[in-house]
């Protein structure tokens, strides 16, 4: 009996030893660029200590010190085991004596969200006011948080530029500081939607839930070849004339995922055998297409071009509300383009 108690006690002790916690602190609380920051390892065990300071520097010490050259917000990670499973990560903000602002990202692309943060060294807790400014008639950026007097500015860029300017005015303890910075914004690859009207052909690139302003393009082969009267699905041909018995009044259709999306006094979805026929949009549908890369339906009515995800339920019920892509009228043909660079 004593041996059993001893073994159980030993096992419990060993299990307690395995419960390593990882934590650290740093000092001072509001460090400045060039100032030495002392990191204290508060972990309750560990085999080794590996630090990553978020600016490309790293050290293998239990409680190291580090100085950041530039102001900004950095992610510091402490690892205490060889398998890289026991880690702790915290953010540290490095200030400058002179107010400035920065972004956690160093490279910028169109139609991605970015947050710019004012970095104001304020050890005496003075009242501070912020005023973010974009040049008049700005078209290269959209502010997603309308408050321009916060310490942060949230926006996304709408076009590629070598120099996209952002200005910030900081007033603290009666002193005004003006900060002006410019950022290089790159273009990026994305899908797009092409559409045709009597006035010409247009392209609109799609970035997740956002889309750029449509741009005129020359006549495109994809639009010329786009049709919805004949589709090949699972090596079988489906013709408009053969589907009228199942879907009376059908004017055009596309097939994906064993479902047919078709135009007939509105936009509809149904199973290929005709079951669960559900109307998506009651307005007259003039053109439609399917984007099988992003799993979206695009269609045109008198109010513009709309889209929504493919219908996924067996009975074709959907809860997604269609979203209007633009207000382009008199659209006669739509096509999805997957190869745009």
pLDDT at 46: 79
Whether the bond between 28 and the residue before it is cis, its omega within 30 degrees of 0, is yes
Range of the domain at 199: 192-337
Q: Is residue 221 part of a domain?
A: yes
Q: Is residue 14 part of a domain?
A: no
pLDDT at 82: 80
DSSP string, 99-142: -EEEES-SSEETT--EEEEEE---TT---EEEEEE--TT--SEE
Q: Identify whether the C-beta of residue 76 lies closer than 8 Å to the C-beta of residue 66.
A: no
Segment 148-159 shows an average pLDDT of 94
DSSP string, 310-332: PP-STT----PPPEEEE---S--
User: pLDDT tens digits, residue range 279-294?
Assistant: 999 999 999 999 999 9
Of 94, 110, 135, the one marking the end of a domain is 94
Report the Cα–Cα distance between both ends of the chain, in Å, rounded: 75
Q: Is residue 80 part of a domain?
A: yes
pLDDT at residue 161 tops 90:
yes
User: pLDDT tens digits, residue range 311-341?
Assistant: 989 899 998 999 999 999 999 999 999 865 5
pLDDT at 253: 97
| CA torsion through residues 134, 138, 140, 141, sign | positive
pLDDT at residue 3 tops 80:
no
DSSP string, 239-298: EHHHHTTTSTT--EEEEETTEEEEESSSEEEEETTS-S-EEEE-SPP-EEEEETTTTEEE
Q: Is residue 124 part of a domain?
A: yes
User: pLDDT tens digits, residue range 223-238?
Assistant: 999 999 999 999 999 9
Using pLDDT thresholds of 50, 70 and 90, give the confidence band for residue 10.
very low
Using pLDDT thresholds of 50, 70 and 90, give the confidence band for residue 136.
confident
pTM: 0.71
pLDDT at 146: 85
- Kindly state whether residues 310 and 231 are assigned to the same domain: yes
Closest by CA to 49, choosing from 61, 39, 38, is 61
pLDDT at 219: 74
Closest by CA to 101, choosing from 114, 118, 115, 87, is 118
pLDDT at residue 208 tops 90:
no
pLDDT at 52: 96
Per cent of the chain over pLDDT 70 is 94
- Kindly state whether residues 325 and 198 are assigned to the same domain: yes
Give the tokens for residue 44.
């309750």
- Kindly state whether residues 117 and 83 are assigned to the same domain: no
Backbone angles phi, psi at 238, to 5 degrees: -120, 120
Segment 118-144 shows an average pLDDT of 90
- Kindly state whether residues 207 and 252 are assigned to the same domain: yes
- Kindly state whether residues 207 and 329 are assigned to the same domain: yes
Distances (CA, A) of 56 to 74, 80, 92: 10, 19, 14
Burial of 240 (0-12, 13-18, 19+ CB in 10 A): middle
- Kindly state whether residues 228 and 315 are assigned to the same domain: yes
User: pLDDT tens digits, residue range 187-197?
Assistant: 998 999 999 99
- Kindly state whether residues 163 and 108 are assigned to the same domain: yes
pLDDT at residue 307 tops 60:
yes
- Kindly state whether residues 45 and 149 are assigned to the same domain: no
Using pLDDT thresholds of 50, 70 and 90, give the confidence band for residue 2.
very low
Which of the two residues, 139 and 278, has the higher pLDDT score? 278
pLDDT at residue 6 tops 70:
no
Using pLDDT thresholds of 50, 70 and 90, give the confidence band for residue 298.
very high
Q: Is residue 5 part of a domain?
A: no
User: pLDDT tens digits, residue range 266-278?
Assistant: 999 999 999 999 9
CATH number assigned to the domain comprising residue 160:
2.60.40.1080
pLDDT at 164: 94
User: pLDDT tens digits, residue range 78-121?
Assistant: 999 887 789 999 999 999 989 999 998 989 999 999 999 999 99
Segment 144-173 shows an average pLDDT of 94
Q: Is residue 79 part of a domain?
A: yes
Q: Is residue 242 part of a domain?
A: yes
Instruction: Count the neighbouring beta carbons within 10 Å of the beta carbon of residue 299.
Output: 27
Give the tokens for residue 168.
């910030």
* CA dist., res. 246 & res. 259, Å (int): 13
* CA dist., res. 304 & res. 299, Å (int): 8
Of 47, 70, 94, the one marking the end of a domain is 94
Q: In what side-by-side order are the strands of the sheet with 72-79?
A: 58-59, 50-52, 72-79, 87-94
Q: Is residue 173 part of a domain?
A: yes
- Kindly state whether residues 83 and 115 are assigned to the same domain: no
Closest by CA to 128, choosing from 148, 147, 149, is 149
- Kindly state whether residues 316 and 284 are assigned to the same domain: yes
| Total domain count, the chain | 3
CATH number assigned to the domain comprising residue 71:
2.60.40.10
Burial of 15 (0-12, 13-18, 19+ CB in 10 A): exposed
Of 139, 169, 186, the one marking the end of a domain is 186
- Kindly state whether residues 281 and 247 are assigned to the same domain: yes
- Kindly state whether residues 203 and 156 are assigned to the same domain: no
User: pLDDT tens digits, residue range 26-59?
Assistant: 999 999 998 999 999 999 987 789 999 999 999 9
Give the tokens for residue 137.
């008639």
* CA dist., res. 70 & res. 89, Å (int): 20
């Amino acid at each position: 009996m004593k041996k059993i108690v001893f073994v159980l006690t030993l096992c419990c002790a060993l299990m307690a030893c395995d419960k390593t916690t990882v934590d650290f602190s740093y000092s001072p609380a509001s460090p400045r660029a060039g100032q030495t920051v002392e990191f204290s390892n508060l972990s309750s065990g560990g085999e080794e200590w590996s630090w990553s300071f978020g600016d490309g520097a790293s050290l293998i010490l239990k409680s190291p010190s580090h100085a950041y050259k530039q102001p900004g917000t950095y992610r510091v990670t402490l690892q205490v085991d060889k398998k890289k499973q026991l880690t702790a990560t915290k953010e540290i903000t490095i200030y400058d004596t002179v107010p400035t602002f920065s972004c956690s990202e160093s490279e910028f692309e169109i139609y991605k969200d970015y947050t710019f943060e004012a970095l104001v060294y304020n050890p005496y807790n003075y009242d501070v006011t912020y005023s973010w400014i974009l040049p008049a008639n700005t078209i290269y950026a959209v502010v997603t948080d309308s408050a321009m007097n916060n310490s942060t500015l949230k926006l996304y860029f709408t076009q590629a530029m070598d120099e996209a300017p952002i200005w910030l005015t900081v007033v603290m303890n009666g002193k005004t500081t003006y900060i002006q910075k410019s950022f290089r914004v790159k273009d990026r690859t994305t899908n797009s939607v092409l559409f045709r009207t009597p006035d010409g052909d247009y392209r609109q690139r799609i970035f997740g839930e956002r889309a750029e302003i449509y741009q005129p393009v020359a006549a495109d082969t994809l639009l010329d070849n786009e049709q919805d009267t004949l589709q090949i699905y699972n090596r079988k041909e489906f013709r408009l004339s053969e589907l009228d018995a199942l879907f009376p009044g059908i004017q055009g259709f596309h097939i994906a995922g064993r479902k047919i999306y078709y135009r007939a006094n509105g936009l509809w979805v149904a199973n290929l055998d005709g079951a669960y026929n559900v109307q998506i949009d009651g307005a007259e549908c003039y053109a439609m297409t399917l984007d099988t890369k992003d799993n979206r339906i695009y269609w045109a009515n008198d109010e513009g071009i709309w889209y929504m995800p493919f219908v996924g339920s067996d009975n074709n019920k959907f809860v997604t509300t269609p979203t209007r892509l633009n207000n382009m009228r008199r659209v006669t043909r739509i096509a999805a383009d997957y190869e745009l660079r």
